[in-house]
Amino acid sequence: MDIGQLINSILNDPDQVFVLTKAFVVGKFPEGAQPLVSILLSILPILSVFPGLFALTTILERKGLGRIQNRMGPNRVGPFGILQPVADGIKALIKEDVVPRAADKVVHFLAPVVIVIPVIMSYAVLPVGRNMVAIDLDAGLLFFFAVGASTELAVFMAGWSSRNKYSLLGAMRAIGQMISYEIPLILSAITVVMAVGSLSTTSMVDAQAGYYGWLPNWYVFTPWGFAGFLLFLTAATAESNRSPFDIPEGESEIIAGYFVEYSGFKFALFFLGEYLGLFAVSGLAITLFLGGWHAPLPFLEWIPSWCWFFVKLMCFIVLFIWLRGTLPRLRQDQLMNFAWKFMLPLTLINIVVAGIWRFLEPGMLRWAVCAAILAAAYVLLARGLTAARGVAPREYRYAEN
């Protein structure tokens, strides 16, 4: 295959531009080196695109939060401040790297590395576009959760090795929160596994292909899928330590929690790990409930599949920034109550509902029954919990409205 043929085939199918280019480049190497080159060419885009997206997100977040608080946000570096991430990066690189004297030096050094690596590994199973997945594992979802859960280790390494009470408090909060929310996260994803009958992420995307009239065949448009999506989203917010579940950081109480003793580029690595984790779990939500790289409407199918994945990912990022600008931080006991008393029962009920959906005849009845069960569970559970705690609407003695 020469360049002309490559250009020809890309013009025939612009959707496959990256897949064809990769195959072309790999073909130029001797046969023995081809597997290695293929792996490297799969890793390279992941290592460049998503950290780039992280840089973009930091400036978007600062701008967005500023506007939400009626401020301008950063606007000094470059036009409209878009070069701010570059300035931040340079600042992080030239800052002094302070290691506390009492710290466990090796673990303290390893923690920021250990937090980034598993997060990047989890991108291996995310289908970014048609035929665009680094490795199509049969147990892709399992791999994703297994690797994602190991970031907890890094968080505790950071908190423990710093020999700082705030670090340790933050790490303990983070461990408690991550383990608690891991369960609803996985249980809400299990519904999709039940519907698809496979743990492979590509087969999940394939199962959501096609349209039901105008409506895309996504799981978010089924009762159990909608409930599962919201539960997954909430648990994902907590998993990635985003506001309103950012008590492990808690700037106002424990001054940044487990990375209080990190400065310079190590701090930037923690930030990178946190945001990459957010993107990864958003990408998984897209894969599970929002049809992966499929277009939302039939007449938009001509737009390349990878564009759709990133458009959906940007929507998630905007949503997370919006939530962060809106909601105050939860208290530790509220957080735990919410996970174990509200989200866990709801995800279990959702699994039952997904089973009912599977065995009922397709039609309006199935829709009505499933939606009614979930709505009743939601209302009764929330009302019951509020009543059990004896919580009445708060009365303000001094500030009225």
Partner 1 sequence: MLGEGILKGMVETARNFAGSYVSKDRLTTVEYPEERIAPKENARQFPFLVFDGNDPMAGLRCVACQICEKECPPKCIYIEKSKDKKPDFVGKMQFYPATFDIDVSVCMSCQICVEVCPFDAIKMDQEYELSNDDRFGGLLLNKTRLAKSNEYYGKMHPQEAGAIDESRLKTKEAAEAKVKADAEAKVKAAAEAKAKEAQPPTAPPNKGA
Give the interface with partner 1 as residue ranges (CB under 8 A): 64, 67-72, 322-323, 325-327, 378-379, 382-383
The burial of 339, by beta-carbon neighbours within 10 Å (0-12 exposed, 13-18 middle, 19 or more buried), is given as: buried
Nearer to partner 1, 176 or 325 (CB): 325
Q: Could you tell me the maximum CA-CA distance found in the chain, to the nearest angstrom?
A: 79
How far apart are alpha carbons 272 and 84 in whole angstroms? 16
Nearer to partner 1, 33 or 319 (CB): 319
In the complex, least distance from residue 323 CB atom to partner 1, rounded to whole angstroms: 7
Other Cβ atoms within 10 Å of 267 Cβ, number: 18
In the complex, least distance from residue 349 CB atom to partner 1, rounded to whole angstroms: 15
Nearer to partner 1, 234 or 241 (CB): 234
Nearer to partner 1, 390 or 393 (CB): 393
Tokens at 212, concatenated: 């039901």
Burial 81-93 (b: 16+ CB within 10 A, else e): bbebbeebeeebe
Helix axes 17-27, 34-68, angle to 10 degrees: 150
Instruction: Write the DSSP symbol of residue 398.
Output: S
In the complex, least distance from residue 386 CB atom to partner 1, rounded to whole angstroms: 9
Nearer to partner 1, 324 or 366 (CB): 324
In the complex, least distance from residue 391 CB atom to partner 1, rounded to whole angstroms: 13
Q: Which of 289, 304, 312, 2 is nearest to 131 (CA)?
A: 304
Nearer to partner 1, 8 or 326 (CB): 326
Task: Give SS3 for 75.
Answer: coil
How far apart are alpha carbons 11 and 325 in whole angstroms? 43
Nearer to partner 1, 230 or 351 (CB): 230
Nearer to partner 1, 91 or 383 (CB): 383
In the complex, least distance from residue 76 CB atom to partner 1, rounded to whole angstroms: 9
In the complex, least distance from residue 160 CB atom to partner 1, rounded to whole angstroms: 35
In the complex, least distance from residue 233 CB atom to partner 1, rounded to whole angstroms: 12
Q: In terms of C-beta distances under 8 Å and separation of at least 24 residues, what long-range contacts does 265-271 make, across chains too?
A: 265/92, 265/93, 265/95, 265/97, 266/97, 266/109, 266/112, 267/92, 267/112, 268/88, 268/89, 268/92, 269/112, 269/113, 269/115, 269/116, 270/112, 270/115, 270/158, 271/54, 271/58
In the complex, least distance from residue 106 CB atom to partner 1, rounded to whole angstroms: 38
Displacement of CA 238 from its chain's centroid (Å): 10
Residues 6+ apart with CB under 8 A from 372: none
Task: Give SS3 for 256.
Answer: coil
